Chain A
Amino acid sequence: MHLNNVGSLWLRRYAVLVACCTFALLIAGGLVTSNDAALSVPDWPLSWGHLVPTLEGGIRYEFAHRAAAMLVALLTVGLALAIQVGQPLPHGRGSDGAATLQSEPRPGYPPGVGSVSKLAWAAVVVVLAQAALGGAAVRFLTPAWATIAHASLGQLFFALIVAICVALYAGVAGAHVPSLVCAAALFAQTILGAGVRYGVVAPAAHIVGALLATILVMWAGLSILMRNMDNPKLRRPAMLLLSIAFSQVFLGIGALMARVAYAAAPQPMPLMVLFTVAHVAVGSLALGAAVALAMLARPAAFPLHGGMVTA
């Protein structure tokens, strides 16, 4: 199986489109929470009893988030179907129905495309669960369990879509353990961050988590950099992860300071919204970068001193 350039060009580009739309959706979700607009549309799945409500005030954020979520859900189903179509034929059957000895993709699909099928269908399940959680958050008046689960599952979904993109470009074959641990820590941080935003976790826990996550990012990033400085295919993503993670720390400090500064404000203030949404968005990028690095820097593909392996 080829470990790089697995997906066909259109499929890879489509997956990247889904990733970009998902990232935009995460930003839209951050805008909803930061503008305290989650319950500006009290009903679900309709909005004020209509498909499209009057767009003003907080309704703009909430409805934009719902519309973006619908788009991403449809795109994700499309992605899973597109990958499914390219699934290898079952063992023992060829395209002409004749007996074969090994799996092969359908005509027109590149080898290895079926390896991400499970990831794609997992993404479909997650995005549907995410929609249900979003609806539950509205129907049950944003209880902490639903809102934190919604925020966390959104990050997990983004990580899954990133994993699919990387798999379509480079295949799936093991993972770089430090980067995987780093990704897990960053995901835990998103859960803690959501807990802080909904007032059920002390900010100190998120700050301690940030310290640990930063150490793990440095461990993962530097361990790759030290061994692969001459390999741009690993050096660049490792440096990207380190840059994103350090930016995230400063954005976190900014978000905290803005929240303290505007604690008595009569409404969400633009600077506070900006810092908080940027913190959420860059946190998603950090998680996505860690997942990508974990897949790219797997030992099978990259021996200690660079050079991508193809089989």
Chain B
Amino acid sequence: MRKHWIGAILAASLALAGCGGDKPSETAESEATAPALSGPPAVPDEANGGTITGKVAFAGAPPKMPALDMSASPACERAYKGVEQKSEEVVVNPNGTLKNVFVWVKSGLPAGRQWAVPATTVTLDQNGCMYRPRVIGVMTGQSFEIANSDPTNHNIHPQPQLNPEWNESQSTGQAAVTKTFTRQEVMIPVKCNVHPWMRSFIGVVAHPFFAVTGGDGTFTIKGLPPGTYVIQTLHEKYGPIEQTVTVGPKETKTVEFSYKG
């Protein structure tokens, strides 16, 4: 009888322990990379390929963002000379578009094709105790560097689901840290535990067809092989939206995504 009770308690504990998985809202995609075809890695053909361009609109009143409390770090407060800073979780541009939206080709590319990794290094800067830019995109295997322009210390702590997690300190004046991620994952949150309001997101994609909306809310993805694609936009608060778009050679298609506040 006692064994039955112990068994029941253990089973209940295990069942409960399985609940409440802590997956971040910023969706972690696990699209497996198809086996590579032989030959050199492909490069986007911007002269003859298709182009998908568009904007990410925001409908409704822009949400009021909460003020950041930087009082725990005097160096951060001094950077703004007493001017209150707001969270940049949602930034609605003056033209009614949304900033910091990651846009990428989720599916539709020729299976198995490997794409050349850009030689350029993407920089994520810690400036004014904020990540600049807030959202970046890199290809799998592409180097990106994290710099510290602040007169204070930061720790850099990406929290991927599919790639290895790491956490490194970066003192003021220290050289930039250069890293790569090897598996596709959209998006990887990055945080600083010293300054808990600091947040950044990195979209890691197995191909070069992605973009991030800026101050005008637009995006352009060039050099796509002719075909039909699922384009996904992803915002850290409002999540993903998808549209299917077909482009031919040298053709430009315009699409508009819209988030509601």
A residues contacting B by CB (< 8 A) are: 35-43, 48-49, 53-54, 56-60, 141, 192, 195-196, 198-205, 264-268
Q: Is the CB of A43 within 8 A of B169?
A: yes
Residues from chain A with Cβ under 8 Å of B157 in the complex: 39, 42, 141
Q: Is the CB of A200 within 8 A of B194?
A: no
Q: Is the CB of B20 within 8 A of A203?
A: yes
Q: 29 A–B contact pairs at CB < 8 A?
A: A36-B193, A40-B192, A40-B193, A41-B155, A41-B169, A42-B155, A42-B157, A42-B167, A42-B169, A43-B169, A48-B171, A56-B194, A57-B194, A58-B196, A141-B157, A141-B165, A141-B166, A195-B17, A196-B20, A198-B22, A199-B21, A200-B20, A205-B16, A205-B19, A264-B89, A265-B66, A266-B65, A266-B68, A267-B69
Residues from chain B with Cβ under 8 Å of A192 in the complex: 16
Residues from chain A with Cβ under 8 Å of B193 in the complex: 36-40, 58
Quote the shortest CB–CB distance from B216 to chain A (angstroms): 25
Q: Is the CB of A40 within 8 A of B155?
A: yes
* Docked complex: B178-192 residues within 8 A CB-CB of A: 191-192
Q: How far is the CA of A268 from the CA of B171 in the complex (A)?
A: 23
Q: Residue B247 at the A interface, CB < 8 A? A: no
Q: Residue B87 at the A interface, CB < 8 A? A: yes
Q: How many A-B contacts if CB must be within 8 Å?
A: 90
Quote the shortest CB–CB distance from B173 to chain A (angstroms): 13
Q: Is the CB of B153 within 8 A of A36?
A: no
Quote the shortest CB–CB distance from A50 to chain B (angstroms): 10
Closest to A141 in B: B165
Q: Residue B106 at the A interface, CB < 8 A? A: no
Q: Is the CB of A58 within 8 A of B194?
A: yes
Quote the shortest CB–CB distance from B143 to chain A (angstroms): 21
* Docked complex: B19-76 residues within 8 A CB-CB of A: 19-22, 65-66, 68-69, 72-76
Residues from chain A with Cβ under 8 Å of B87 in the complex: 266
Most B-side CB within 10 Å, residue of A42, A54, A202 = A42
Residues from chain B with Cβ under 8 Å of A35 in the complex: 196
